[in-house]
Structure 1
Amino acid sequence: MTRQLFSFRIAVTLLVWTTSALAASALEMPTRKAGLWEMKMVRTGSPMPDMTMQHCTDETTDKAMSSTYSPMSKDMCSKNELQKTATGYITDSVCTIGGMSVTSHSETTGDFNSAYTVKVTSHSQGGPSGPRDTVMTVEAKWLGACKADQKPGDIVMPGGRTMNVKDMEKLKAMAPK
């Protein structure tokens, strides 16, 4: 798989992780305001570089991401709990991804209309690099309407390449088994 496709898969996974509702819970994360969102992802304890991307979305796209990827989450995660707090949402999960066990805790704050922040702390074990603790912070801000040449689901990656989140299904089919 090319580096760009791998980066896209990572970006979409993180995007879904930080915006989707949990199907196992009666509680759902709010839908983001339609338009263009800038998402800056900063990680510590991870070999992946920091990344800033833009995502054009609308209510239908956000909800479709939830309904498409929540079943995958159910299959991969033995625990996936979401709770509302006075300042936002807390998610705790235990998932198995590519033979690794990942235990994570995330705190989401903000209004989903102009800006929100997601801080994820995780511990992974069982992978080729051994146990690892990581912290990722996603700072998202609404930039305005999507650009004229964009459609909902478009993600503008670092370097300017644009892919659509709906292409994720195609990428899954291309991935080595």
Structure 2
Amino acid sequence: MRKSSRHLMFLLPLVLLSAAPALAEVQLPLRKAGLWDVKVDHEGGRMPGVAVQQCTSEAVDREFTSDFAPSARQNCSKADVQKTATGYVMDSVCTMGGTTVTSHAEATGDFDSAYTVKVAARSKGGKFGDRNSKITIAAKWVGPCKEGQTPGDVVMPGGFKMNMRDFEKFKSMAPH
């Protein structure tokens, strides 16, 4: 799989998770401002795990959520978020590019020092056919953003840096 495809696969769960609360009555908490170490592991070894650093702020998290809400409303027939005793449960059914993805995610943690999101998804149709996947996103707050970083910056493996506010650029990285 191309490096840019792995980057897009990392971003997809974050996009879906930030879109879901905008469609539901329950709002996920915003992350503490600063630098987060984020590790994404794919169960079953189809794709290698990815570790990134993301600089965020309350304003960027709010902006990111609201930017994706209209897209999610168009593409998702279901986007439910429920508060539980230990965190949040999110269920969604979204269709993009001829592929329908049904996902169940459980988020735990305080969003100030650490959080974990476990996602089980089933994809049907599209280029790649039917697939099941399990992804674990584990994030830990490490302190203030580094010098030269601005909220929204994501530093990928190998030092590749992009800003979430430039999402249109991410679309061009997707395989056609």
TM-score, normalised by the number of residues in structure 2: 0.90
Segments of 5+ residues of structure 1 without an aligned counterpart are none
- CA distance, structure 1, for counterparts of residue 46 and residue 96 of structure 2: 17
Q: SS at the partner of 1:40?
A: strand
Give 1:42's aligned residue.
41
- CA distance, structure 2, for counterparts of residue 30 and residue 133 of structure 1: 28
Q: SS at the partner of 2:159?
A: coil
- CA distance, structure 2, for counterparts of residue 96 and residue 122 of structure 1: 13
Q: What is the aligned-residue RMSD (CA, Å)?
A: 2.1
Relative to structure 1, is the Cα distance of residues 141 and 82 closer, same or farther in structure 2, using a 3 angstrom cutoff? same
Pick the structure with more helix per residue: 2
Relative to structure 1, is the Cα distance of residues 132 and 153 closer, same or farther in structure 2, using a 3 angstrom cutoff? same
- CA distance, structure 1, for counterparts of residue 54 and residue 140 of structure 2: 10
* Equivalent residues, number: 176
Residue deviations 1:3-60 (CA, integer Å, cap 9, x gap): 4544443333322334455222121100000000011000125743311111000000
- CA distance, structure 1, for counterparts of residue 45 and residue 129 of structure 2: 12
Q: Is the 8 A contact 1:20 1:63 kept in 2?
A: no
Residue deviations 1:68-92 (CA, integer Å, cap 9, x gap): 0121111111000000000000000
- CA distance, structure 1, for counterparts of residue 39 and residue 169 of structure 2: 25
Give 2:145's aligned residue.
146
- CA distance, structure 1, for counterparts of residue 45 and residue 167 of structure 2: 23
Query: What amino acid maps onto 1:22 in structure 2?
Result: P
- CA distance, structure 2, for counterparts of residue 157 and residue 16 of structure 1: 16
Give 2:156's aligned residue.
157
Query: What amino acid maps onto 1:93 in structure 2?
Result: S
Give 1:101's aligned residue.
100
Q: How far off is 1:108 after superposition?
A: 0.2
Q: SS at the partner of 1:22?
A: helix
Give 1:125's aligned residue.
124
Between the aligned residues of both structures, percent identity stands at: 49
Segments of 5+ residues of structure 2 without an aligned counterpart are none
Give 1:68's aligned residue.
67
Give 1:24's aligned residue.
23
TM-score, normalised by the number of residues in structure 1: 0.89
- CA distance, structure 2, for counterparts of residue 31 and residue 12 of structure 1: 17
Q: How far off is 1:125 after superposition?
A: 1.1
Give 1:88's aligned residue.
87
Q: How far off is 1:171 after superposition?
A: 3.6
Give 2:12's aligned residue.
13
